Amino acid sequence: MLQEESDLSLIIAQIVQKLKGSNLYSQLERQAWASLQRPEIKLESLKEDIKEFFKISGWEKKLQNAVYSELSVFPLPSHPAAPPEHLKEPLVYMRKAQGSWEKRILKSLNSMCTELSIPLARKRPVGEQKELLNKWNEMGTDEPDLSLFRPVYAPKDFLEVLINLRNPNYENGDSLSFRTHLGLIQVPLKVKDIPELKECFVELGLNIGQLGIDDSTQVPPELFENEHVRIGQKVLAEQDSAAAQQYIRQGSPTALRAELWALILNISSQPEDVLYYEQLKTNVIQHDLLVDSLIYKDVKLTASNDDYYFVFEDYLYQVLLCFSRDTSVLSHFAYNSASPPKSYIRGKLGLEEYAVFYPPNGVIPFHGFSMYVAPLCFLYHEPSKLYQIFREMYVRFFFRLHSISSHPSGIVSLCLLFETLLQTYLPQLFYHLREIGAQPLRISFKWMVRAFSGYLATDQLLLLWDRILGYNSLEILAVLAAAVFAFRAVNLMEVTSLAAAEKENYLRELKSMYLGDIVKIHGLFWLFKIVS
């Protein structure tokens, strides 16, 4: 059909345009030039011979991986009449809500700046620069006075904004009718129901082997584990991103995880990448940002207090401070409903040539942001690789957890999916919790916003993040949250207040929970069982 052909050529043109600016392009060019000296490359059939050479030497695979990565991350080109805002977020009222939320954050940051009389950005004097360079690897030993700083916002503030989200064209009557949403989210986004989830997450069915369950000590390794590890090694040898993504849906063996994630995210540590990281480090040393103090405060409040992650405190500073200076992150705002905060050089207000983004990467960290990085420290020890992996995870997944959008993996859809699953399959529990004023979303929101980081034991968390990478979707967070409630349904029916429900040992001890337990006793997809 004409339309599909023109759509396809548009997608191809877009991907070619993106890849032309990448390292891979110049590497391929260099390889092509170098290959001319090889005897098998003949002038008459130059094009085919070079293509054959690329196939044999593995360069074609690298190109395939890069194309696959572009397809996974960037949305398809939209209608020619659609403005760029439409690509960020198609629904106008959500764009407006995101805009007002951002304005609140900026006001908060500005008032912190004026109250504390601290500039947003300051060039460090040479002495201070030297000092910071010397203690770069042990910034955690620093104890700056952060008492006056407060996080710009916490997940519960964001939840209040989502609860008040309304579509002006929707029947939001006060009286209870079939139209009212019983949960906290009142916007009618499309979320998957159980049959659709079953179809989507087919590899998580009870009849298919999973790591985290079928590799426990009671199960003989010949049944599943050995074969799975063998396939994993083969996938790594082939260096195929798409195959790795398919493979990891059943979980990744611990020994292979770091390489598998790097393959799926298409990260290969080239000398240019290390240089880029060093450049970011120089930027951190030269300029001091107000946002740095927010990062320090966040790490001290969250990761440093966590039994699993406090050892990585120094790594967290090294990653997050550099992340704030990375302007390449700005490109993800093309498909993120959020927009980077803007400012002008002092004295040049209104002049576009002096307009800059603040922070340079456009992302203002909130309370708990450092928990996105912490679990990765278990996998990667080299700072520039750790940095690249985190940056890629952020621009693919984590940004959706703290911006208002209608995307199926956006936090609004995840909340609605969680509430819908709970209402449909645990109506008694949902009703009971609602009656005692303990709306389930108030408890599970913080788990989902942090992608369960800090709430699950690390090895379980990494198994969960395996699936996020494998399915390229965050919906599994909502399903897990619903499954946790299902797992503890009996106990939750007995609580009488929100405070009690939150203090529930059972929910707090999420950390001692094994995903395997949830699956074995109830089946993480027990919901699937009910419908089948």
Footprint of another protein on this chain (CB under 8 A)? 1-3, 17-18, 20-22, 78-79, 81-82, 86, 90-92, 103, 106-107, 109-110, 113-114, 119-123, 167-171, 179, 187-190, 276, 279, 283, 287, 325, 327-328, 330-331, 341-346, 349, 353-354, 356-358, 360, 406
Q: How far is CA 117 from CA 112, 124, 147, 151, 288, in A?
A: 8, 17, 15, 17, 14
Q: Is the peptide bond before 359 cis (omega within 30 degrees of 0)?
A: yes
Rounded Cα distance between 221 and 223, Å, is: 5
Q: For the CB of residue 227, give the shortest distance to another protein in the complex, in Å.
A: 40
Q: Of 189 and 468, which CB lies nearer to another protein in the complex structure?
A: 189
Among residues 23, 27, 87, the alpha carbon closest in space to that of 331 is found at 87
Residues 6+ apart with CB under 8 A from 193: 420, 424
Host H or E run for residue 116: helix 92-116
Does residue 357 sit in helix, strand or coil? Answer: strand
Q: For the CB of residue 368, give the shortest distance to another protein in the complex, in Å.
A: 22
Q: Of 87 and 256, which CB lies nearer to another protein in the complex structure?
A: 87
Among residues 386, 366, 368, 391, the alpha carbon closest in space to that of 376 is found at 386
Q: For the CB of residue 394, give the shortest distance to another protein in the complex, in Å.
A: 17
Q: Of 107 and 520, which CB lies nearer to another protein in the complex structure?
A: 107
Q: Which tokens hold the place of 149?
A: 């700083």
Q: Of 107 and 230, which CB lies nearer to another protein in the complex structure?
A: 107
Q: For the CB of residue 25, give the shortest distance to another protein in the complex, in Å.
A: 8
Among residues 474, 512, 464, the alpha carbon closest in space to that of 252 is found at 464
Among residues 333, 443, 391, the alpha carbon closest in space to that of 88 is found at 333
Does residue 514 sit in helix, strand or coil? Answer: coil
Q: Of 59 and 276, which CB lies nearer to another protein in the complex structure?
A: 276
Q: For the CB of residue 93, give the shortest distance to another protein in the complex, in Å.
A: 9
Give residue 26's identity as a one-letter amino acid code.
S
Q: For the CB of residue 72, give the shortest distance to another protein in the complex, in Å.
A: 18
Q: For the CB of residue 275, give the shortest distance to another protein in the complex, in Å.
A: 11
Q: For the CB of residue 121, give the shortest distance to another protein in the complex, in Å.
A: 5
Q: How far is CA 175 from CA 161, 179, 424, 490, in A?
A: 22, 10, 22, 31
Rounded Cα distance between 352 and 329, Å, is: 21
Q: For the CB of residue 24, give the shortest distance to another protein in the complex, in Å.
A: 12
Q: Of 18 and 511, which CB lies nearer to another protein in the complex structure?
A: 18
Q: Of 77 and 209, which CB lies nearer to another protein in the complex structure?
A: 77
Does residue 2 sit in helix, strand or coil? Answer: helix
Q: For the CB of residue 417, give the shortest distance to another protein in the complex, in Å.
A: 12
Q: Of 55 and 166, which CB lies nearer to another protein in the complex structure?
A: 166
Q: For the CB of residue 202, give the shortest distance to another protein in the complex, in Å.
A: 21
Give residue 517's identity as a one-letter amino acid code.
D
Catalogue the long-range contacts made by 472-475 (C-beta closer than 8 Å, 24 or more residues apart).
472/72, 472/245, 472/396, 473/200, 473/408, 473/409, 474/397, 474/400, 474/401, 474/409, 474/414, 475/192, 475/197, 475/200, 475/408, 475/409, 475/413, 475/414, 475/417
Q: Of 45 and 78, which CB lies nearer to another protein in the complex structure?
A: 78
Q: For the CB of residue 276, give the shortest distance to another protein in the complex, in Å.
A: 8
Q: Of 17 and 217, which CB lies nearer to another protein in the complex structure?
A: 17
Q: Which tokens hold the place of 116?
A: 């504390």
Q: Of 171 and 435, which CB lies nearer to another protein in the complex structure?
A: 171
Q: Of 239 and 406, which CB lies nearer to another protein in the complex structure?
A: 406
Does residue 356 sit in helix, strand or coil? Answer: strand
Q: Is the dihedral of CA 258, 261, 263, 268 positive or negative?
A: negative
Rounded Cα distance between 27 and 520, Å, is: 48
